[in-house]
Amino acid sequence: MLAPPSRQPGDPPRQPPRRRLLQLACVAALGGPVWARGPGSTASGASPGKGDGPLVLGQSVPLTGPTAHLGRNYVQGAQLVFDQVNAAGGIGHRAIELRIQDDGYEADRCADNTRRFIREGVFALFGYVGTPTSLAAMPLALEARVPFIAPRTGAQAVREPLHSQVFVLRASYREELSLIVARLRARGVSRVALLRQADSYGDAGLDGLTRALAAQGLGLLGQAGIERNSLDVSAAVRTLAPLRPEAIVLVCTYQAAAAFIRAVRKTGFGGLFAAVSFVGTQDLIDSLGREGAGVMISQVMPSPYNDVHPLAAQFRAAARKAGGHVALTYSGIEGYLAGSVLVAGLQAAQRVGRLSREGLVEGLESLGQREIGGFPIELGPKRHVASNFVELSTLVGDGSLRT
């Protein structure tokens, strides 16, 4: 199925207006919080489980740096849901307020943001973006007993062991890489190398890839690392190109992936590339253009580029209704689903008169098996990972994506 990302009549643009992005970046650069408020919300949070003030969610995401697109789009998708809920009266007449801090995709900054959120008494921590940042924040959330909802990472460490305060939306990198390796094997590939980010994100990718290869009776041909937020791929090219792999798996962000693909192809490499979902699909399409033809990317959400899936149709309709400032991306639709799951948990808590942190945990656990926009999820006391959905997409090279 081809899904052209190009704008269709009546669709919002893929990227938000430049003026709004500059506002976000400037406020973040000044060190102040960015508040996305619904009707009737205030800048001060109510006590965690009492009162009639807004339900304040703390969200540390990259708004600047190479992964800023992922943070901004995730925020936009979730805010669509919260705005809809607030316009309808909120949760028990309490608005949902999203309080955002920029972490630049750096673990130390994220930890500082999280400590600040906890001091301010936020109701929950929501929608963190990235493995190193999420893993820096999660222990702080657990210590303070603050719910930590929908981190955008496929790392196993946020899934195992099960923690009562932690709820994960997406499938794991192990599941993504299992599908990637199965597809490579179906194409006769046996010599697989890895380019990975030199941090916990890359470690999670290495774990998932080696497990997937072992299940197929294979070993990893070789690996190379690249520093987080760096585009210096020269050493990685020198390491991997001489190994003559048939495929190179990319566990990094889109700028590093694009730089590496271009550089390693100049050495004569003519094999396959496959990346996990965190790479940033739309940005990789935009960066590589025709050079992206054939690059595979595993996805943990249905395609946001058309109305084929009911969740995508719902997300796109909400974006149009909001005035066209929301980017129609995989990160955006993931934020939209994450916001929807959180709202379902809040509504369940409110129905039984437990609109507190503990009530939110119980509300999410009470959701069981259900569909949100036609997308199946399952949560319960012994299951805090909502989805195992994974599919593979391929860049066509003309600005479209085949799934």
Structure tokens at 132: 């190193």
Task: Look over the chain and give the mean of its residue pLDDT values, rounded to a whole number.
Answer: 89
pTM: 0.88
Domain boundaries, the chain: 2-171+306-379, 173-299
Q: Going by C-beta distance under 8 Å and a sequence separation of 6 or more, which residues neighbour residue 87?
A: 38, 39
**Among 127, 400, 105, 403, CA closest to 282:** 400
> CATH homologous superfamily for 173-299?
Response regulator (3.40.50.2300)
Give pLDDT, residue 281.
Answer: 95
Structure tokens at 114: 């999280």
pLDDT of 28 higher than 70: no
Average pLDDT, stretch 300-310? 96
Q: pLDDT band at residue 151, thresholds of 50, 70 and 90?
A: very high
Percent of the chain having pLDDT more than 90? 84
Task: Please tell me the distance from the alpha carbon of residue 329 to that of residue 350, in angstroms, as a whole number.
Answer: 31
Give pLDDT, residue 399.
Answer: 84
Within this chain, domains 2-171+306-379 and 173-299 share the same CATH topology: yes
Task: Determine phi and psi for 258, rounding to 5 degrees.
Answer: -65, -45
Q: Is 31 left (phi over 0), alpha (psi -120 to 50) or beta?
A: left
Q: Going by C-beta distance under 8 Å and a sequence separation of 6 or more, which residues neighbour residue 197?
A: 205, 225, 226, 227, 228, 251, 252, 253, 256
Average pLDDT, stretch 169-191? 98
3-state SS class at 126? strand
Query: pLDDT tens, 54-98?
Result: 999 999 999 999 899 999 999 999 999 999 999 999 999 999 999
**Among 246, 178, 248, CA closest to 215:** 178
Answer yes or no: CATH 3.90.180.10 is held by domain 2-171+306-379: no
Task: Please tell me the distance from the alpha carbon of residue 109 to that of residue 229, in angstroms, as a whole number.
Answer: 14
Q: Is 65 left (phi over 0), alpha (psi -120 to 50) or beta?
A: left
